[in-house]
A and B are shown apart, each in its own frame.
Chain A
């Protein structure tokens, strides 16, 4: 009875608040990216991905110009969470193409039958060693990235100490209490680094190696942000935080990024990469099973391994292209590191043992 009137009043009260607040907003009332939802029209192709996906506007416009399809991007959490959401919604996916399954998660995606086979145009131009599903083409490789130890150049120069190069070096007394890494249970670089040690020392040896690292004072924090921005003395954030760990588990592309976002840009990168400590991540995209716009999805997959996208990608996602002949930006060649022999572990091995590896790692290092 009077409840409805109360509502009216509350609404008025809020409206007052809202008008007062509208002042903070902008005056443009264009829709905030909330276009038509639900059924994707035949002219829209929807790409589902993790939070790190990025592409420049121009390149996406290029795709529209070439194919007539507009790309709508949905991002949902980190790589693991985004993939798991796709597995949950299997059969009635939110989009047409999923980008961002890496080799540590690949088996989970394939075993769940997430993707429809499609051999992308131009796949013959993609390096053979990254085509982990070459037989069935359920996924298409799009980029690679290396998880490696980054070091703070200034620290080692001041101490007149050579920076570490290999996994073995990290356990030496000279580098005691210098390394910070991420929780392998919650962070993808943390997991990559653990897998790198498994690949190097084998199923039997990796635990002993981590015991040594622990005795050598390795610090574990939860996520990359904290490790890199708060604990690592070589990063801009770490310098401000007076961080005291000159070694961190990060990416081979971190030094170029450090340069790109410094103001003014330095002549040399403040950080370096220990090239003998790398684990290779390969990211894949695939056509989702049950996609509403299959044709558009296929066109998008072709585009993802095409030169335009591949050359645009490095500065947007800080990863390396997989297509032969795609040019890498100067920033990468000048400040980055080339990793000749990254470690890898086969996706099905990872799927089988991952839980157990992480569990034993946790009880060794975290507890």
Chain B
């Protein structure tokens, strides 16, 4: 408990409070009158309204499209399932710069839709919503599907034997068990879309602005700290309210679930209905997720006079890029992986400790901390980044120019994922199993190893995968943290896109493709570790 609290106090609460204080204090007095001033501005009201409704619409749409996917991944076995599971997670970690480019290629002028049906969706809200679904599909599939695959189907079967209809059995047995996971997933998606930044900027054009975009503008571009502080607090309040509701629903539904090994619950689809469902989900994944990714790959290979690997070769040379980088762009991959490993470690340690502490429900204080852990997702990267600047500036903590800030900032975003993924599973472990083991003479460690670990290991790996992936694609915080010239992949991509010329554009696409592959391979490896080592650790 002490470790996560200290971590959050130092690297999150303190910087954010400091930067907000800078904006709201004048001569040492809090100026709360500024709220009225800022919130009565019509442009700000417009931003608030748009932020809210697009987030609600995106969340609804994501759940609608992704829940069938979660079911299919949890309950069906089909060839290529692991690969597909890794692939659907890739979008989640791609930098928005890349996704924006891919979606423009699909929905914009001369894009696929335009050529086939003459439809253009760029600079409409539809492009934003679709991109949000693209990003967050994996959140739902992994959080809900992860638990769903471990629910014992026999419970539902028992209900059927007792005379419940198929739907009634699902509604009374499976749905209540899934509730917390669905709520957690919906909440995450809502948080993400509520605080959406890059997608809105690139696909929406200047006509659309979310709270997050506005906070960035007010802070980084205008240094209008009072306005930024007010907006930050508004976002805080909104996020806090969502989290409170969420905590309440979770508490109402907490029950010990009988978890089983996922390998036993999945089977080949049977009957026309199930095959149709599987086909439908695969088609969705193909159109919504694979197509935008495929466009990137195609553009990375599209060299003048045909197709080839010229852009990939260029990535390895520092000379060709002397104008953009001091090192060959390929080195960005190594940097990214290094940061990601460190960030994952930090996130797992902090998040794992927090989840363990939260499992032993120790009163209201701890529950409050649960919500607190989620706050970094709802606070803009620029606020945290600028907060770092004015707080971590004195020895021994002058970390402003240290490389460790990058993984720290990334871990801040990763921790909530770890907690969210671990918590439902940790809480669902039936304590009596542990007690039974203890009665039979197992030491606490042995009891934990034999009882908890097999049930938790999966969640742990999923959590690690998420933290790792978040770190790989994280762009917001890394941009604001000055560091020696060792760019991460997303930063390198955005730098290449920031230069004119065919080679730069092609290299940006190639690097995005590599980023995609690296993510997919990492996620696949995590999946493999799980299956290879099932049984003993």
Contacts and interface: CB of A to CB of B under 8 A. Distances in A.
Interface of A: 1-3, 5-7, 9-11, 13-14, 16-18, 20-22, 24-26, 32-35, 37-39, 46, 48, 51-52, 54, 56-57, 72-78, 80-81, 84-85, 87-89, 92, 94-95, 108, 183, 185-186, 220-226, 228-230, 235-237, 240-244, 250, 254, 257-264, 315-318, 355, 362, 366-367
Interface of B: 22, 97, 100-101, 104-105, 108-110, 201-202, 205-207, 217, 219-223, 299, 302-304, 310, 322-326, 333-335, 337-338, 340-341, 344-345, 348-349, 352-353, 356-357, 382, 386, 389-390, 393-395, 398-404, 444-445, 448-449, 453, 457, 460-461, 464-465, 468, 479-486, 491, 494-495, 497-506, 518, 521-522, 525-526, 529, 537
Nearest to B521: A24
B480 A14 contact: no
B522 A24 contact: yes
B389 A263 contact: no
13 contacts: A9-B453, A17-B344, A33-B483, A34-B484, A38-B398, A51-B491, A85-B386, A88-B389, A89-B393, A185-B217, A241-B109, A243-B110, A257-B501
A220 B205 contact: yes
A230 B101 contact: yes
B323 A2 contact: no
Contact of A75 (B207, B482, B529): B482
Most buried by B among A5, A84, A183, A362: A84
Contacts of B386: 84-85, 88
A263 B484 contact: no
Contacts of B104: 226, 230, 241
Contact of A250 (B205, B401, B500, B502): B500
B485 A240 contact: no
Nearest to B497: A225
B400 A18 contact: no
Given A33-B483, A56-B322, A225-B498, A24 B337 contact: yes
Given A3-B357, A52-B498, A237-B505, A72 B484 contact: yes
Given A3-B356, A33-B485, A259-B501, 12 more contacts: A9-B537, A33-B484, A35-B484, A37-B402, A48-B482, A89-B400, A220-B206, A226-B100, A258-B500, A261-B501, A315-B322, A366-B206
Given A3-B357, A21-B522, A263 B304 contact: yes
Given A94-B401, A240-B299, A261 B500 contact: yes
Nearest to B337: A25
Which 6 residue pairs across A and B have the least CB separation, nearest first?
A261-B501, A242-B110, A236-B502, A33-B484, A74-B482, A34-B403
Contacts of A318: 323
Contacts of A52: 498
Nearest to B491: A51
A75 B338 CA distance: 19
A220 B326 CA distance: 33
A108 B484 CA distance: 26
A62 B394 CA distance: 33
Chain B at the A interface: mostly helix, strand, loop or mixed?
helix
Most buried by B among A57, A73, A222, A257: A222
Nearest to B46: A367
B401 A74 contact: yes
A240 B497 CA distance: 14
Nearest to A39: B395
B500 A257 contact: yes
B402 A261 contact: no
B502 A263 contact: yes
Contacts of A108: 223
A238 to B, nearest CB: 9
Contacts of B479: 51, 76-77, 81
Nearest to A81: B220
B525 A20 contact: yes
Contacts of A6: 352-353, 356, 448
A366 to B, nearest CB: 5
Contacts of A94: 389, 400-401, 482
Contact of B480 (A37, A76, A259): A76
Contacts of B518: 24
Contacts of A88: 22, 223, 386, 389-390
B505 A240 contact: yes
Contacts of A224: 498
Contacts of A186: 201, 206, 217, 221
A92 B398 CA distance: 10
A54 B324 contact: yes
B219 to A, nearest CB: 8
Contacts of B110: 241-244
A184 to B, nearest CB: 9
A92 B206 contact: no
Nearest to A1: B444
Given A56-B322, A222-B205, A223-B201, A7 B220 contact: no
A254 B500 contact: yes
Given A7-B349, A32-B403, A367-B207, A230 B108 contact: yes
A362 B444 CA distance: 65
Contacts of B322: 54, 56, 315-316
A57 B26 CA distance: 46
Nearest to B448: A2
Contacts of A21: 337, 340-341, 468, 522, 525
A226 B448 contact: no
Given A10-B460, A54-B324, A94-B482, A17 B526 contact: yes
A225 B223 CA distance: 24
Contact of B223 (A87, A264, A367): A87
A1 B445 CA distance: 10
B505 A236 contact: yes
Nearest to A354: B222
Most buried by A among B201, B325, B394, B453: B201
B77 to A, nearest CB: 24
Contacts of A220: 205-206
A324 B460 CA distance: 63
A183 B525 contact: no
Contact of B495 (A3, A20, A51): A51
Contact of A74 (B357, B448, B465, B483): B483
A91 B122 CA distance: 45
Contacts of B497: 225, 229
Contacts of B97: 225
A222 B401 contact: no
A254 B453 CA distance: 58
Given A37-B402, A74-B482, A226-B104, A81 B221 contact: yes
Nearest to A261: B501
Contacts of B108: 230, 241
Given A230-B108, A263-B310, A355 B503 contact: no
Contacts of A237: 502, 505
Contacts of B335: 32
A235 B500 contact: yes
B334 to A, nearest CB: 5
Contacts of A183: 206
B481 A76 contact: yes
Contacts of A16: 529
Contact of B529 (A20, A26, A76, A235): A20
Contacts of A260: 323, 501
Contacts of B323: 54, 257, 260, 315-318
B174 to A, nearest CB: 29
Contacts of A37: 398-399, 401-403
Contacts of B303: 263
Nearest to A85: B389
A357 to B, nearest CB: 13
